[in-house]
Amino acid sequence: MTFGLLFPVPAMAAGEYVRPTLALVLGGCFAFATVGVLLQAIQTGRALRQLSNEGELEATPEAVVLKRNTILWTIGAVVLAIATIIALNWRVLRKETEVPAPLASTERIGGVKILTVDRQYPEVDADLIPLNTSVYLWFTLPMDRKTLIDDKGTTVPSDDEAAGDHVRMWRGGSATSVGQLINIRARSTPDLKIFAFDPISPFSSGGNSKIFVELRGLKTTDGQPLFGQEGIYRWSFTVAQNEDRIAPTLQGSFPKLNAQDIPANAGIQLGWSEAMDPISFSSGVQVRNGTSLIAGAWTVAEGERLSEFFPTATCAQNQCRRNIGCFPFGGSMELTTLVVDGQAYPRQGVRDLHGNIISAAAQTLLRYTVGRRLEQSLPSIVAVEPLPNSSSVSADVPVSALFSTIVRAGSVDKRSVRLGGDGDWRAQVETNFKTSQSRIRIFHQPLLKNQILQGLVASDVEDIYQNCFAQCKGP
């Protein structure tokens, strides 16, 4: 395998990915042959027309041959044109399965783009999932809320449940045979891109440890249907015999506790001991400057171990002409957890994916002071793995890029970080708070022999100061 990071090279596939490449080659050959045969048909047709104008269409053996050849060349052009269409469609066809794997936010079926789930927790065929877990869905587009949540005709979120006509969970049975239905509540982020489904009672195996989830007839806010013609998406996971009751703990932060003179355009990033509930932060923590509440937005990056806060008040633009949010110059920032009702619904307080709330004793998570300056240095990549233009790389080598500073984890997604080739991959950010550096890791299917790959990090990636990634710097 050959690898190039930040260098655009052709992505050729081998092994199980040989079909798309072969189809593209065949389609090109058929298209070239179609043009040649069509030109030959036109040439013989012109000759036949000339004889016809001279009144010799039926009079000579030459006319008979030309007439036969024109018909044969025309039929050949039509056949080759059909073969070209079939080959190019074969390039994008996907193998259908009873339970489609959610490896991408879209997939192509017969050349048509079909919206699917971006990802979910628990993952497909996951096992030993704690009994007290919740089910989470991530979408790349805002969803039509009523196809996922039944609000019971009220504005009170405490009675919200999963929309039974569209979302079902059951224990036992199979993917096509419904077992014991599970009663579930439902909630979402304000942008309607993340949804959580909370069983009213913890999953109880009761001899049936497999849980099935079915989504049917979901739509985006602009009415686009998901899951293709059938409109159904199912997956299953297996629960363990125990619950997870260990509360998450804070493992690191930027800025550091009691830090001084932090640039006003620096966001807040928190590292956690385990995956966190991405919906819980707005109800569980506040950012204040003295007694004044700072308006802003929390995000939880893919992997759910990094959460971030950026203020909404803008003070400048970055190098990509995007607005950046700033904390008050000279401010004294304090990040505190809220005292919440642990039994309330929707769930309150910062929690992990299993509903365990952060320790109530940790009232102050972070405090620091803001300086009267902005940090506007461009972040760059300082090391990559594998090395650019390397060859004979192991198929299981991790793909990663180490940055000169902390990366804004929420800026890393499939749009801003890409890995060439036909296999599925996902990008996550890991931050070392001691060195103040982040590493983007690209998790992928086993890389194939003789495959040429390209890695691309776009300028959409930002650092914790909201500065654009400098693409022309680094290895």
Q: What is the DSSP string of 49-108?
A: HHHHHTT-TTTSHHHHHHHHHHHHHHHHHHHHHHHHHHHHHHHH-----SS----SSEEE
Task: Characterize the bridge pairing of strands 314-317 and 210-216.
Answer: unpaired
Residue 456 phi, psi dihedral angles, 5° rounding: -135, 125
**Residue 178, CA atoms < 13 Å, CB-side half-sphere:** 7
* Cα separation values, 284 from 198, 234, 264, 298, 325, Å: 18, 32, 24, 11, 22
* Cα separation values, 285 from 217, 279, 297, 299, Å: 35, 12, 11, 12
Maximum average pLDDT range among 166-180, 334-348, 450-464: 166-180
Q: What is the mean pLDDT of residues 172-190?
A: 91
When pLDDT is cut at 50, 70 and 90, the band that residue 55 belongs to is: low
Task: Characterize the bridge pairing of strands 112-115 and 381-385.
Answer: unpaired
Average pLDDT taken over every residue of the chain: 82
At CA 361, angle to CA 360 and CA 367, rounded to 5? 105
Residues pairing with 150 in the sheet: 161
Is the pLDDT at 422 greater than 90? The verdict is no
Domain 106-238 has CATH 3.20.20.80: no
At CA 294, angle to CA 292 and CA 300, rounded to 5? 145
Q: What tokens were used for 82? A: 């059909």
* Cα separation values, 60 from 48, 56, 370, Å: 11, 7, 97
Q: What is the pLDDT of residue 18?
A: 41
Q: Are 106-238 and 250-370 equal in CATH topology?
A: yes
Structural contact between residues 194 and 186, judged by C-beta atoms closer than 8 angstroms: no
Q: What is the mean pLDDT of residues 249-278?
A: 96
What contacts 300, CB < 8 A, 6 or more positions away?
A: 276, 277, 278, 281, 306, 307, 308
Q: What tokens were used for 351? A: 């929690």
CATH of domain 250-370: 2.60.40.1220
Residue 237 phi, psi dihedral angles, 5° rounding: -145, 165
Is the pLDDT at 226 greater than 50? The verdict is yes
Tally the residues of the chain.
475
Q: What is the mean pLDDT of residues 21-44?
A: 75
Is the pLDDT at 355 greater than 70? The verdict is yes
Structural contact between residues 316 and 324, judged by C-beta atoms closer than 8 angstroms: yes
Nearest to 214 by CA among 159, 276, 166: 166
Q: Give me the residue spans of the domains in the chain.
A: 2-10+377-457, 17-92, 106-238, 250-370
Residue 242 DSSP one-character state = S
When pLDDT is cut at 50, 70 and 90, the band that residue 423 belongs to is: low
Nearest to 399 by CA among 415, 411, 381: 381
Percent of the chain with pLDDT over 90: 49
Express the helix, strand and coil content of the chain in percent, nearest 5 each: 20, 35, 50
Q: What is the pLDDT of residue 457?
A: 86
Q: What is the pLDDT of residue 114?
A: 66
- CB atoms closer than 10 angstroms to residue 87: 19
* Cα separation values, 124 from 52, 101, 210, 413, Å: 68, 7, 11, 21
pTM: 0.74
Gap between the Cα atoms of 197 and 181, Å rounded: 14
Is the pLDDT at 474 greater than 90? The verdict is no
* Least confident span in 261-270, 318-327, 380-389: 380-389
